[in-house]
Structure 1
Amino acid sequence: MSRVDRKLDQAARAAWMYYVAGKTQHEIADVLGVSRQAAQRLVALASESGLVRVSIVHPVAGCTALSQQLARQFGLSVCRVVPSAGMDSISLNRMIAVAGAELMLQFIDQEQPQVIAVGSGRALRSTINELPQLDRPQHSCVSLIGAIASDGSCTRYDVPLWMAEKTQGKYFILPAPLFADNATDKELWCNHRIYRMVTDKAAQADVTFIGIGQMNLHCPLHYDGFISSEEVQRLTEAGVVAEIVGHFIGQDGRRVPSALDQRLTSVTINVRPDKPVIAFAGGAEKYPAIRAVLNGGWLTGLVTDEETAIKLLAVPGPTVSPTPGRE
């Protein structure tokens, strides 16, 4: 066993004693034969290395009420709200990821083969990262969006592949750049046999998981080199506040036409989906985008944070019947 493995093994022992057995750091130090400070560092290492996964079984009453109100107002079949008062953005996103993974597990930890359609984004990747390793080789993970930028590079956040690795399932990549060079090239990409096979499979998905992107110079599409600063400016001037799977959404929740549509190769998405479409997003920066997507009825499920939920409910919105889905 290497030195690193021995350290992680000792950290895992410390985590078992601290989180499961309820031992104090002083008691852990005595058992492991280390100082109290060393025991404290081992417990911290276990958390930082992803050795510890937390499950809070008692719901926070206020968050439960918010989730129920959001579901009623926006016609969601499933909604989760995590506490966020006083939380920094890193902590908030981690909490959304943990809650999101618990919800994901309800859909994918099944013996029956599932087709899982997956979008993109850091929040979605973080959520999948919180999933335990599953032995579900019968599942299929299908990409909804091309991961190739105009310069030929690929995003580091290949979310569908990460989902396939977590489930041990097959991975069906969308074989195209997110935006083709021109409309003619788009036709060539989209008429390829493999492209049509993958998009047909995506249309049959049992559940779809997506992220919600805001539209500004810090948005993932711009940061990862898929669109230029000039294109961001044109999109915001046209009223775009949100992006889902490469589709641009205005404040009212409707698609905003743009020149980029003629080059977009991602899978088509629909309003009022008849199968679960669940997004994971929160925080002040993403609030306008989350609201737009909810206004448009693009989702059946949402995992977000307490402060975002309060802001969403503070402004009158559509009150619609719940969309089909599973709790």
Structure 2
Amino acid sequence: MNRHDKKLDQAARAAWMYYVAGQTQHEIAEALGVSRQVAQRLVALAIDSGLISVNISHPVGRCMELSARLSERYGLSLCQVVPSQGMESAGLNRAVAVAGAEVMAQFIRDEQPLIIGVGSGRSLKAAIDELPDFERPQHSCVSLIGAIAADGSCTRYDVPLWMAEKTQGRYFILPAPLFADSEQDRTLWCNHRIYRTVNEKASQADVTFIGIGTIEYQCPLHKDGFISAEEVERLSAANAVAEMLGHFIDSAGRRVASELDQRLTSVNLRQQPEKPVIALAGGAEKHRAIRAALLGRWINGLVTDEECAQALLAD
């Protein structure tokens, strides 16, 4: 790479941090190890070079390289890595959300009717928030995870509703709590005609978007009251490091058997899916969980950040 290309890479990184992550020029200067004046000039260079339109069109070379290596190692059909050098957690999460929205939009723009499977998680919700409004009433958004709380209300895990609002498409809710009160209660929920109809529709999804959760004290499932501290301890003792749609995965990518399985109402996960199953997850603290999903071949698409990507490639 010549000096001009390196300068453009640095300008693209600065522009991303400024326009997407919302960082100040002072923060950009500190992250890139340059003066504030140089940071200003880099942002100006990005504008003058035509790198900025609605989004940043210049691919940052390092991230492109990481994407290619991840795709080769884990057999991914889609991989996008966003810059994260020097970013705080909020900026990093927004960068992943913006990139995730761009990937979602690639599918949503299709005028042929699509069935879009949607899981849960804060990363998914943040990405959907970044989506522009589409007029695609022919699309269907299908929930893959029960979003009914114990008191009958819908929870923050009801992410597919937000996508349906953005696409103006139909919305199919999985009519069940994430974990039923008992195995017998799960049987009642899952044998209901509406549940079976939605579950069948979910199995026909043309593209699926999911999040990847960690298993630890104060992880989202624990913090939001779906599993207890004792259950977290038992799962950790069984080497569970990741959670997808309420299914628990160990560090080698294998399903971890748990008493929670007898109460789980989510749709089944499939290894080596034939259609796109794209996870949105970032942050260096999540690399063990993401690696588990990759090793198990539970996903074939990933949107993440460069620090996480480096950790996934380090072992």
TM-score normalised by L of structure 2: 0.82
1:115 to partner: Cα distance: 0.2
Q: What stretches of structure 2 of length at least 5 have no aligned partner?
A: 1-18, 20-52
Contact persistence 1:178–1:265 (CA under 8 A): yes
Give 1:191's aligned amino acid.
Answer: N
Asked if 2 retains the 8 angstrom alpha-carbon contact of 1:279 and 1:302, the reply is: yes
The residue identity in structure 2 corresponding to 1:301 is G
* Distance change (3 Å), C-alpha of 1:200 and 1:257: same
Q: Which has the larger radius of gyration?
A: 1
Which residue number in structure 2 is paired with residue 122 of structure 1?
122
1:127-138 correspondence to structure 2 within 5 Å: 127-138=127-138
Q: Quote how far apart the aligned CAs of 1:153 are.
A: 4.5
Deviation at 1:151, TM superposition (A): 4.9
Match of 1:278 in 2: 278
Tell me, yes or no, if the aligned pair for 1:82 and 1:304 is still in contact at 8 Å: yes
After superposition, residues 229-268 of structure 1 pair within 5 angstroms as 229-268=229-268
Aligned to 1:170: 170
CA contact (8 A) 1:116 1:208 kept: yes
Aligned residue type for 2:293: V
Answer yes or no: is the 8 Å Cα contact 2:284–2:311 preserved in 1. no
CA distance in 1, matches of 2:102, 2:136: 16
With over 3 angstroms needed to count, the CA separation of the structure-2 counterparts of 1:218 and 1:153, relative to structure 1, is farther
| 2:7 match | none
The one of the two structures with greater contact order (alpha-carbon pairs below 8 A, sep at least 6) is: 1
**SS of structure 2 residue aligned to 1:102:** helix
SS in structure 1 opposite 2:248? Answer: strand
TM-score, length-scaled by structure 1? 0.79
Alignment of 1:56 with 2:42, yes or no, is no
Q: CA deviation at 1:134?
A: 0.4
Moved more, 248-257 or 143-152: 143-152
Q: Is the 8 A contact 1:150 1:179 kept in 2?
A: no
Aligned to 1:227: 227
Please tell me the residue identity of whatever aligns with 1:214: T
Corresponding residue for residue 69 of structure 2: 69
The answer for the alignment partner of 1:179 in structure 2 is 179
1:309 aligns with 2:293: no
Q: Give the Cα separation in 2 of the matches to 1:193 and 1:169.
A: 22
- Residue 209 of structure 1 aligns to a residue in which SS? strand
For 2:67 and 2:212, how far apart are their aligned partners in 1? 18
Aligned to 2:25: none
Confirm or deny: 8 A CA contact 1:149 1:225 kept in the other structure. no
Quote the residue 1:294 is aligned against. Answer: 294
Segments of 5+ residues of structure 1 without an aligned counterpart are 1-18, 20-52, 316-327
Aligned-pair RMSD on alpha carbons? 1.3
Q: How many residues get paired?
A: 264
Identify which range, 191-200 or 100-109, moves more after superposition: 100-109
- Whether contact under 8 Å (1:133, 1:166) holds in the other structure is yes
In the TM superposition, 1:43-122 aligns within 5 A as 54-122=54-122
